[in-house]
Amino acid sequence: MTTQTNRQFLLAKRPVGAATRETFTFQEVPVGEPAAGQILVKNEYLSLDPAMRGWMNEGKSYIPPVGIGEVMRALGVGKVVASNNPGFAVGDYVNGALGVQDYFLGEPRGFYKVDPKLAPLPRYLSALGMTGMTAYFALLDVGAPKAGDTVVLSGAAGAVGSIAGQIAKIKGCRVIGIAGGADKCKFLIDELGFDGVIDYKNEDVAAGLKRECPKGVDVYFDNVGGDILDAVLSRLAQKARVVICGAISQYNNKEAVKGPANYLSLLVNRARMEGFVVMDYAAQFAAAGQEMAGWMAKGQLQSREDIVEGLETFPETLMKLFSGENFGKLVLKV
């Protein structure tokens, strides 16, 4: 393998505001051989997620930041092409933190095998991967929806939001999606069966919430934060649950993060707002994945991937997440 070249994107500096191509160093290095306990994986697909912007920041978080000069962290799926680890054989397909590069070489910490015969590989980065696990546990455990509840989701046409909304429908809820643009809103109604939509790019969100949620919001699944979070807080029903899954509107702020101004609605309505990190549920991933696969087999759950080709496009493709250009789970085909 030493004649092979490994293209890599390394974190060059901690960005202020949006990450750009200058945030990263691009390099080409020879591919090494696995030492004892290591495997060599040829990366096929990488997951691009809003959380990657947070991983670039210094400071305390739920996971250590990517170090300056380290390969940019990314989850992915790929094929084992050399192994010095008894748990993985050449030809196995694996899911793990592969990094933004052509090849992963190292110990397979947290890696697990996937079967491309059961589902296309990109699906293991969307509904059957961390995205699906996030939607499943954030909605069902933190949101705790009951049949008949009104569930509102921001970023509803995105990777996590679209799956969480479908799970809410499976659980008998009335589901309202907040998304940007007529195409995404039409997709939520016509393809995913949502009960109502609010187009934040073309209408007033507060007015849309009044129209779609006349009795208030029982569960709010928040992926964006900022002004939309504030608007929904003003429409909470009694004993409502607010799931803080993400805040993509705030990740590129150059100033302090904008907190919720309408938080006293939590007091008035005896509601709760709770943060969510998917790795807290790692021990339950397998069981959740089986249930999700069952829903997909019955046609109750759809997964949409937005696949962009070319490792070299990584910095620009990542920014699609923050402009709302992606439609479904954003995946980079290496």
Q: Do 165 and 210 reside in the same domain of the chain?
A: yes
CATH of the domain at 201: 3.40.50.720
CATH of the domain at 38: 3.90.180.10
> What is the pLDDT, as a whole number, of residue 171?
98
> What is the pLDDT, as a whole number, of residue 1?
45
Q: Do 110 and 151 reside in the same domain of the chain?
A: no
Number of domains, the chain: 2
> What is the pLDDT, as a whole number, of residue 3?
66
Phi, psi at 111, each rounded to 5°: -75, 150
Q: Do 113 and 157 reside in the same domain of the chain?
A: no
pLDDT (tens digit per residue) in 119-140 = 999 999 999 999 999 999 999 9
In a domain, 239, yes or no: yes
Q: Is 201 exposed, middle or buried (0-12, 13-18, 19+ CB in 10 A)?
A: exposed
Non-local (6+) Cβ contacts of 107 within 8 A are 37, 38, 39, 85
Q: Do 143 and 62 reside in the same domain of the chain?
A: no
Q: Do 136 and 274 reside in the same domain of the chain?
A: yes
Tell me if 152 sits within 8 A of 176, measured CB to CB. yes
In a domain, 58, yes or no: yes
Report CA 253 to chain centroid distance, whole Å. Answer: 19
> Cα angle at 143 between 137 and 149, to 5 degrees?
130
Domain that holds residue 186: 130-278
Q: Do 172 and 206 reside in the same domain of the chain?
A: yes
* Residue 41 backbone class (left: φ over 0; alpha: ψ -120 to 50; beta: rest): beta
Distance CA 260, CA 315 (A): 30
Q: Do 78 and 185 reside in the same domain of the chain?
A: no
In a domain, 261, yes or no: yes
Q: Do 30 and 110 reside in the same domain of the chain?
A: yes
Q: Do 231 and 271 reside in the same domain of the chain?
A: yes
Q: Do 163 and 254 reside in the same domain of the chain?
A: yes
In a domain, 213, yes or no: yes
In a domain, 283, yes or no: no
Place of tokens 């929806």: 145
Tens-binned pLDDT, residue by residue, of the chain (334 aa): 446 899 999 999 999 989 999 999 999 999 999 999 999 999 999 999 988 998 999 887 888 999 999 999 999 999 999 999 999 999 999 999 999 999 999 999 999 999 999 899 999 999 999 999 999 999 999 999 999 999 999 999 999 999 999 999 999 999 999 999 999 999 999 999 999 999 999 999 999 999 999 999 999 999 999 999 999 999 999 999 999 998 877 877 777 778 899 999 999 999 999 999 998 998 999 899 999 999 999 999 999 999 999 999 999 999 998 887 888 899 999 9
Q: Do 49 and 106 reside in the same domain of the chain?
A: yes
Distance CA 287, CA 311 (A): 33
In a domain, 284, yes or no: no
In a domain, 219, yes or no: yes
pLDDT (tens digit per residue) in 273-332 = 999 999 899 899 989 999 999 999 999 999 999 999 999 999 999 999 888 788 889 999
In a domain, 299, yes or no: no
Q: Do 271 and 134 reside in the same domain of the chain?
A: yes
